[in-house]
């Protein structure tokens, strides 16, 4: 059963990790998928070719969602190419970790711009299309760190907490137009970023997770499929942790 057949979805920051898996699982469930990448050009182009094997319409865009004008142009280009836009997954994000006393203004501003401002930019542009259609879905990727904070990640935690407040506000504003807005909050997920960590450190983290393992990107992607599909038609303004019980 293909839960997203006939839907057009945009996934930001999809060249690797969780975003890549979301784009892949969406395509496998029958969605037409537009996605963005920025620095990982070769990976983005390779993903476009790979996803086309699922038989739906696929197109990658090199775009910086943290820039307001680029986000507006992206949505315009996607609608021109695909005809409409049903689902937006705001996934693009970075980390610039460091203790508060050592954190530079640049580290703060860059993380807030890429992680939080990008969600505003893309959502504002896409909501115009969805309001005309009187339907749509926003899925915004936060983190367990956005719920409970974390030492050495004040900028990241602030950006991810901001996403939660923003998403809940959008759910209240746009609900009357049949537009839903929800948050997915991953915990410790194994990606290219975590593969470089000391295995003993990873084992220690996993020992403190009730399910006693790290999550996989598909664990997050599967929850996103549920939220993007009509199976979650009465779910909006919610935070769904995908964290093995950490929260």
Say whether pLDDT at 195 is over 90. Answer: no
Mean pLDDT of 114-127: 98
69-118 pLDDT, tens digit each? 999 999 999 999 999 999 999 999 999 999 999 999 999 999 999 999 99
The confidence score (pLDDT) of residue 196 equals: 81
Task: Specify whether 156 is catalytic.
Answer: yes
Taking only the tens place, the pLDDT of each residue in 128-162 is 999 999 999 999 999 999 999 999 999 999 999 99
192 pLDDT more than 90: no
DSSP string, 158-215: HHHHHHHHHHHHHHHHHGGGTEEEEEEEE-SB-SHHHHTS-HHHHHHHHHTSTTSS-B
Is it the case that residue 238 has pLDDT exceeding 80? yes
Predicted confidence at residue 39, as pLDDT, reads 86
**117 vs 109: CA distance, rounded Å:** 10
Longest dimension (CA), the chain: 52
The catalytic position among 37, 61, 156, 234 is: 156
- Token readout for 56 is 């739906």
pLDDT at 197: 80
Domain boundaries, the chain: 8-189+216-242
Using the predicted structure, report yes or no on whether residue 181 has a pLDDT greater than 80.
yes
Feature table: binding site: 91, 156-160, 189
Q: How confident is the model at residue 198 (pLDDT cuts 50, 70, 90)?
A: confident
Binding site for NADP(+), residues? 91, 156-160, 189
> Residue 222 above 80 pLDDT?
yes
What average pLDDT does this structure show over 61-65? 97
Q: How confident is the model at residue 68 (pLDDT cuts 50, 70, 90)?
A: very high
| Tokens matching residue 112 | 């807030």
Could you report the per-residue pLDDT of 5-48, keeping only the tens digit for each? 999 999 999 999 999 999 999 999 999 999 999 988 899 999 99
The CATH architecture of the domain made up of 8-189+216-242 is: 3-Layer(aba) Sandwich (3.40)
């Amino acid at each position: 059963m293909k839960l997203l057949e006939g839907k057009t979805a945009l996934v930001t920051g999809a060249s690797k990790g969780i975003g890549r898996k979301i784009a892949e699982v969406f395509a496998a469930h029958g969605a037409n998928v537009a996605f963005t990448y920025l620095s990982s050009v070769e990976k983005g182009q390779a993903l476009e070719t790979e996803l086309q094997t699922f038989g739906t319409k696929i197109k990658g865009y090199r775009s910086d969602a943290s820039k307001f004008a680029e986000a507006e142009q992206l949505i315009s280009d996607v609608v021109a190419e695909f005809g409409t836009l049903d689902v937006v997954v705001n996934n693009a994000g970075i980390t610039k970790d460091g203790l508060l006393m050592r954190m530079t203004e640049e580290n703060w501003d860059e993380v807030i711009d890429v992680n939080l401002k990008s969600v505003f930019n893309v959502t504002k542009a896409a909501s115009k299309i969805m309001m005309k259609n009187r339907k749509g879905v926003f899925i915004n990727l936060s983190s367990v760190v956005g719920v409970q904070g974390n030492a050495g990640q004040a900028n990241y935690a602030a950006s991810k907490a901001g996403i939660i407040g923003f998403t809940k506000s959008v759910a209240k504003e746009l609900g009357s137009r049949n537009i839903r807005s929800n948050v997915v909050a991953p915990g410790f997920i194994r990606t290219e970023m975590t593969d470089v960590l000391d295995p003993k450190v990873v084992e220690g983290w996993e020992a403190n997770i009730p399910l006693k393992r790290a999550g996989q990107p598909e664990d997050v992607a599967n929850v996103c499929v549920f939220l993007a599909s009509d199976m979650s038609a009465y779910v909006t303004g919610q935070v769904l942790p995908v964290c093995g019980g950490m929260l």
